[in-house]
Structure 1
Amino acid sequence: MQDISTKCTQQYKYFCFILSKQKTYYKNINLNFTRMDSFSLEMDFEPSPMTPRSLAAMTPRSLARRRLFPNVDNKKQKVEQSGAGPRKNLQLEVMEPALNNDGPSLDTILVNYLDTLTQRVNYHLGYPVNIYYDHYASLAPLLQFHLNNCGDPFLQNTVDFHSKDFEVAVLDWFAKLWEIEKDQYWGYVTNGGTEGNLHGILLGRELLPDGILYASKDSHYSVFKAARMYRMDSETINTSVNGEMDYSDLRAKLIQNKDKPAIINVTIGTTFKGAIDDVDTILEILKECGYSQDRFYIHCDAALCGLMTPFINNMISFKKPIGSVTISGHKFLGCPMPCGVQITRKSYINNLSTNVEYIASVDATISGSRNGLTPIFLWYSLSAKGQIGLQKDVKRCLDNAKYLKDRLQKAGISVMLNELSIIVVLERPRDHEFVRRWQLSCVKDMAHVIVMPGITREMLDNFMSELVQQRKVWYQNGKTYPPCVGEDIGAQNCACSYHKIDYITP
């Protein structure tokens, strides 16, 4: 294991390098994912008195207080702690610097906002965002530059302020993970999972212009948005109670429309229940229904689980006849801004590519200009964790999800957990304030907790303790009862007064 002081020293040198603002031209950098010390830069300047110890101690809050808001007196301007309750909407307006404002300064407003967010991170259980990462100290200096990755990632820009070297390194890593050769794939770092879905489905539409889009009703809403945007004919496929695609319904609708090609959205981890559509089963159904490989296109929406399943079950692979895969970078891996990765086959991309003389490049993306910071954040996280670190994160999250599920079940609370999932579905808490406090996502009579890498058992224990106590208050009078969610998550998972007699053992 690499010595901690060595890591700190390297981060410190990089920090000083960025701040030095050397007037040198941008050079292509050969990046790889071996060891953290494999990336080096030559430096010819005198470092500041800042030490590795002080750099290592920098956190988002200390960075903000010490560097971003130097004019705020932390002792005098200390915010009143608002407890763990949901943050209130800020009553803000844009200030005119020429006017004498009696209110708080800009820096004070931002520090107050930062303090509120810092309190709320321990109550973030309902949405798939990994908000625990440690690259802010090393990468914060990059915020002083405008980095724009416009055009094709594999073609250089005419300006030097881009991060395509990092972008291609990230793409190569995912191409290897999903088993496609470097000279056989094309991709780019997107602004999020929705953009990846829009791009993948557009590719399918361009390859098969009269194709019908098939997507389960539990697919992400962006899939149906794509159908509306592209004016595509679409079929919504039913799902089983656990959220997985109903393959008999898919088969029936494919046969009904067998005169037209099929564009199929396969969800690797549904948004609310975390169910995984079986790629192999879908491919077998296509074959049985008479669809040859030139008459179907498969897009895999693996927003949350695309970084998990390769370490559990090798279900995502371009060795199978799939067309594209997308993930969200800010979800399981973690990133301060929304981002994603989209990978497709190189032979498909010409259908979208347009030569743009203005940027001296070819563009086949949805967004055109792209955030040049996100590839660096993704590259840094992947390099810091590596496959071994990610595998440990996956195992810990799966174990903690089962831990929460078992505790809920033992407490007599309706709960469901899909295989290979970190999304724990439970009965919807009765109190809206409780839902807001824990930032839960709710659908009908269900809520869910997504056990991300930063979620600890201590947080889950605190959630459980408060939920059990609150339920005693909600249902103490004997006139109100917990909701029946048998139709939503299965009778065997429902602990309502009717179902627990048959399914819940003491």
Structure 2
Amino acid sequence: MSNANLEVSQQLQQLLLQVADRTKYFLGYPVSKDFDYSELLPFLQFPMNNLGDPFVKSTYQVDSREMEREVVHFFAELFRANPENVWGYVTNGGSEGNLYGLYVARELYPNAMVYFSEDTHYSIQKNVTLLNMEYVIVRSQENGEIDYNDLKEAIRYNRHRPVVVVANIGTTMTEAKDDIPRIKQLVADMAIEKCYVHADAALAGGFAPFVKPRPAFDFVDGCDSISVSGHKFIGSPMPSGVVVVKKENRDRIARKIAYIGSSDATITGSRNGHSPLFLWYAIKKLGVDGFANRAQHSLEVASYTESRLNEIGVKAWRNTNAITVVFPSPAVEVCAKWQLATEKGFSHIICMPNVTKEQIDEFVSDVMATTPQ
């Protein structure tokens, strides 16, 4: 082996050890790591690219479009979309799904005002800036949910313009969920007919359909598009997501492209053909029952985490049926070890399907060991 090749191998081995070690200790981010995609490794030999519309054939055929369509239909059914009026694709993550939903909204209502709460994911403000859409940031309630009274006043001030609302179906820090039927009713009460609601369900979209009572977040509840991440609740080696929209709205922006023999209906041109394959594989292996079991496990561990922290005097809390537990930030070394996201003096643990009660016990022990007596 040449010196150059030896150096590459050593660097890779060092990175592998580092990644494996750090993967053991993260509780602060919504990423599932309990997956095994070894059966799919042979596909990494091929340049799989799902460029263009997954529902339209392309002259480029080294792809996974068939699987991508199945993934879209799986989530469309979970989100109770009209099967006669649904379209979507596998994205690079929730942020791209949010961009797509807002893009569709802008094409429908070019003069619209966009409303979202101060607890909304940072991708929304970035996306409305990219799309050159005017927006109003609305206050949040203490639990992170949008302040409906403030939203009403903001819309009233601009009631001559169409309304676009980004509803959080699980905010970043507290997993608060905005009530879409309440938002729709609020707009209807002001006699505003042109209204578009995009649901950012990056994390909770994977388990909200299995929670009782079911949050009001999907197409039956009044959303026009919805974005969910694939690498969060499901788990994937690379970031991914799914966006589902009404086909009639998507048809307004698609353009036929002769070069690829397909239509340009997505944000990016070339698209990862491996991501849909990973999501398809997970969906096939888990099934609906598997999703429901993962949701139940996460909720049980979240309840356990909240109780354990309160037992040792840490004022932990969570929103109804949330898998995110919020508490005052512990010592810096504890935050660093467990890779906790921290904001305004608070941190959180997100009880993903891979999180165990044993991990929580170890975390609690660390908190106790670093808390002044």
Q: Same fold (TM over 0.5)?
A: yes
In the alignment, which residue of structure 2 is the partner of 1:290?
A: 191
> Who wins on radius of gyration, i.e. which is larger?
1
User: Which residue number corresponds to residue 500 of structure 1?
Assistant: none
Question: What is the alpha-carbon distance in structure 2 between the residues aligned to residue 156 and residue 235 of structure 1?
Answer: 40
Deviation at 1:319, TM superposition (A): 2.6
Quick check: 2:199–2:218 contact (8 Å CA) kept in 1? no
**Identical amino acids, percent of aligned pairs:** 37
The one of 338, 360, 364 equivalent to 1:460 is: 360
Alpha carbons 2:180, 2:222 under 8 Å: kept: no
Contact 1:310–1:316, Cα closer than 8 Å, also in 2: no
* Aligned-partner SS, 2:232: helix
236, 254, 262: which is aligned to 1:353? 254
1:439 is aligned to 2:336: no
CA distance in 2, matches of 1:125, 1:319: 33
Give the Å deviation of 1:105: 2.7
Aligned position for 1:274: 175
Report the alpha carbon displacement of residue 360 of structure 1 after superposing the two structures with TM: 1.0
Conserved 8 A contact 1:309-1:315: no
Query: 1:404–1:424: 8 Å Cα contact kept in structure 2?
Result: yes
Cross-structure match for 1:45: none
- 1:225 is aligned to 2:126: yes
**Are the aligned partners of 2:331 and 2:367 in contact in 1 as well (CA < 8 Å)?**
no
CA distance in 1, matches of 2:78, 2:33: 24
Instruction: Tell me the equivalent position of 1:120.
Output: 22
Structure with the larger RCO, 1 or 2 (CA within 8 Å, 6+ apart): 2
In structure 2, list runs of 5 or more residues that go unmatched.
none
Q: Would the aligned equivalents of 1:404 and 1:460 in 2 still touch at CA under 8 Å?
A: yes
Matches of 1:198 and 1:168, distance apart in 2: 20
Question: Quick one: distance in 2 between partners of 1:164 and 1:233?
Answer: 35
Matching of residue 303 in structure 1 with residue 207 in structure 2: no
The 8 Å contact of residues 128 and 304 in structure 1, kept in 2 or not, is answered as yes
**Hey, what's the Cα distance between the residues in 1 that align with 2:316 and 2:221?**
34
Instruction: Provide structure 1 residue ranges, at least 5 long, that are not aligned to the other structure.
Output: 1-70, 72-96, 477-506
Which position in structure 1 is the counterpart of 2:88? 187
| Residue 312 of structure 2: aligned partner | 411
- What aligned pairs does 1:147-186 form with structure 2 within 5 A after superposition? 147-186=48-87
The equivalent residue for 1:75 is none
What is the Cα deviation at residue 183 of structure 1?
2.9
1:352 maps to a residue whose letter is I
**RMSD over aligned Cα atoms:** 1.4
1:233-258 residue CA offsets vs partner (Å, 9 max, x unmatched) = 10111011100000000111111111
Contact 1:422–1:450 (Cα < 8 Å) also in 2: yes
Shift of 1:457: 0.6
What is the CA–CA distance in structure 1 between the aligned matches of 2:32 and 2:330, rounded to whole Å?
Answer: 23
Cα distance between partner residues in 1 of 2:6 and 2:141: 54
Report the equivalent of 1:374.
275
State the distance in 1 between where 2:227 and 2:338 align: 29
Structure 1 CA distance for aligned equivalents of residues 359 and 215 of structure 2:
31
Deviation at 1:321, TM superposition (A): 3.4
CA distance in 2, matches of 1:311, 1:451: 16
Amino acid at match of 2:196: Y
Q: Which amino acid aligns with 1:455?
A: V
Q: CA–CA distance in 2 between the matches of 1:331 and 1:318?
A: 21
Relative distance call for 1:181 and 1:284 in structure 2 (3 A) is closer
Look up the equivalent residue of 2:299 and give its one-letter code. Answer: L
Query: Is the contact between residue 181 and residue 222 of structure 2 (CA under 8 Å) also seen in structure 1?
Result: no
Residue 471 in structure 1 maps to residue 337 in structure 2: no
Q: Distance in 1 between matches of 2:364 and 2:340?
A: 13
**Kept after mapping to 2: 8 A contact 1:148/1:369:** yes
SS at match of 2:84: helix
Whole-Å separation in 2 of the counterparts to 1:445 and 1:179 = 38
Deviation at 1:434, TM superposition (A): 2.4
Separation of aligned partners in 1, 2:250 and 2:23: 40
- Which letter maps to 1:205? R
How many residue pairs end up in the alignment? 371
Distance 1:159 1:353 in 2: 18
Amino acid at match of 2:353: P
TM-score w.r.t. the length of structure 1 is 0.72
Match of 1:214 among 115, 131, 135: 115
